[in-house]
Amino acid sequence: MEPFDVVDLIRTKRDRGTLSTAQIDWLVDAYTRGYVADEQMSAMTMAIFLNGMGREEIRDLTLAMVASGDRLDFSGLHRKTTDKHSTGGVGDKITLPLAPLVASFGVAVPQLSGRGLGHTGGTLDKLESIPGWRARLSTDEFYAQLDAVGAVVCAAGARLAPADGKLYALRDITGTVEAIPLIASSIMSKKIAEGTAALVLDVKFGSGAFIQDPARGRELAETMVRLGTDAGVRTVALLTNMNVPLGLAIGNANEVRESVEVLAGGGPADVVELTIALAREMLATAGVTDADVEAALADGRAMDTWRRMIAAQGGDPDAALPQPRESQLVTAPRGGRLVEQHALPFGIAAWRLGAGRARQQDPVHHAAGIDLHAKPGDLVTAGQPLFTLHSDEPARFARALEALEGAWRIGDPEEAPQTGGPLIAGRVGE
């Protein structure tokens, strides 16, 4: 006989009550094994979305999802571990240069990543642009690569927080994705189950992020830092601006190219800035406080680790990346200063070009995407290239351009760019 009635628990949250640890443990377990139906959990997630959860409830929900599956153990490694998670945004390819950069200092980075859905690109989709690279590793391969190379970016196993997998899919179709207790417990259950000793969070806000309001972004960051700290994981977070696309490349293969530019000591200034800031935070959580991360990019150490990381997963770091069959250039209609470039429409446009997927089973066109030729603040002349659309199917260009109507604006030369503030807006943690 079951110890609780799920309808009673739904009523409790509906009426702004508090669930006990035992009730949450049972609810997560019963849903994972199928006793609690999807429609009942849908009612619960909507009650949580509308009425929130207290700190203890969020902690209990997170730990219950951790307990639903396996937990990795890195105690046998010869390296300290640290990880990073981004809440996702347009042009966010930071994991690609960041993981090998941090690993080049002898710290292990076990990066379990996902695929894109909608306008937010997935790290695994980007890396699968590289011929031969594979996302699936056995447990033995995972540990061996982490010990030998120091960096692994791969898919999480199905047994890692399986309750979150079910709950995430349900939230996506019930309009409850944006609930902070559910976002925080989803992210942190996987990261705690992953077993890393330290974690740095890149919590994004703005037009191209799940959470647009900076205050709610800070609330999410503070919630996740508390969850990590309560679970014994050294956790800090950076609040970063996603009002403007990150870097100059939005897509998959083109984002890999841009990441390699950063590893070669170049790349767009905003991508370099965020990569360096997150690397310093990750290394500090692992006890490395005197690392010269700029030097590791300039002297080739980070690039060497990247090449080893890609090759260890079957990829050819020297292979040509996919090229689009068709491209369409958009130029400036007049001279002036580019003052607006909203992230979300550019993400949607890249998705419509084939760089993303509407359903999990949809294929991704690795060569599709957008290359930006100017960023807010740049002076442009009439006829100067602003951005180029890429696709394997030219029929996609029209709908992509529809998404970009009103997404950018050229003002007078003296007008200030509308970016919503600095790239790194704050820090939460020790």
**Structure tokens, 229:** 């700290």
379, part of any domain: yes
Q: Is 230 exposed, middle or buried (0-12, 13-18, 19+ CB in 10 A)?
A: middle
Task: Indicate which residue of 164, 202, 270, 371 is catalytic.
Answer: 164
- Clarify whether residues 350 and 308 are in a common domain: no
- Clarify whether residues 163 and 292 are in a common domain: yes
Q: What angle do CA 149, 271, 331 make, to 5 degrees?
A: 135
Task: Indicate which residue of 86, 104, 186, 189 is catalytic.
Answer: 186
421, part of any domain: no
Task: Indicate which residue of 13, 85, 93, 308 is catalytic.
Answer: 85
Half-sphere exposure of 215 (CA within 13 A, CB side): 0
- The tally of domains found in the chain comes to 3
DSSP state letters, 61-93: HHHHHHHTSB----TT-SS-B-EEEE---TT--
- Clarify whether residues 334 and 274 are in a common domain: no
- Clarify whether residues 99 and 188 are in a common domain: yes
427, part of any domain: no
- Clarify whether residues 392 and 337 are in a common domain: yes
- In sequence order, the β-bridge partners of residue 160 are 70
Q: Which amino acid is at 260?
A: V
Q: 151-175 as b/e, with b when 16 or more CB fall inside 10 Å? A: bbbbbbbeebbbbbbbbbebbeebe
> Which residues lie closer than 8 Å to 17 by C-beta, 6 or more apart?
11
* 85 catalytic per annotation: yes
- Clarify whether residues 401 and 303 are in a common domain: no
Predicted local confidence at residue 361, as pLDDT: 66
**Structure tokens, 167:** 């709950």
* 190 catalytic per annotation: yes
- Clarify whether residues 128 and 253 are in a common domain: yes
Structural domain harbouring 333: 326-411
* 164 catalytic per annotation: yes
- The enclosing domain of 380 has a CATH number of 3.90.1170.30
Predicted local confidence at residue 400, as pLDDT: 97
- Clarify whether residues 12 and 114 are in a common domain: no
Task: Indicate which residue of 59, 93, 171, 352 is catalytic.
Answer: 171
Helix locations, 313-386, DSSP H: 343-350
Residue-wise pLDDT tens for the chain (430 aa)?
899 999 999 999 999 999 999 999 999 999 999 999 999 999 999 999 999 999 999 999 999 999 999 888 888 888 899 999 998 889 999 999 999 999 999 999 998 887 765 666 689 999 999 999 999 999 899 999 999 999 999 988 778 889 988 888 788 778 888 899 999 999 999 999 988 899 999 999 999 888 899 999 999 999 999 999 999 999 999 999 999 999 999 999 999 999 999 999 999 999 999 999 999 999 999 999 888 999 999 999 999 999 999 999 999 999 999 999 999 999 999 999 999 999 999 999 999 999 987 666 678 899 999 999 999 999 999 999 999 999 999 999 999 999 999 999 999 999 999 998 999 999 999 7
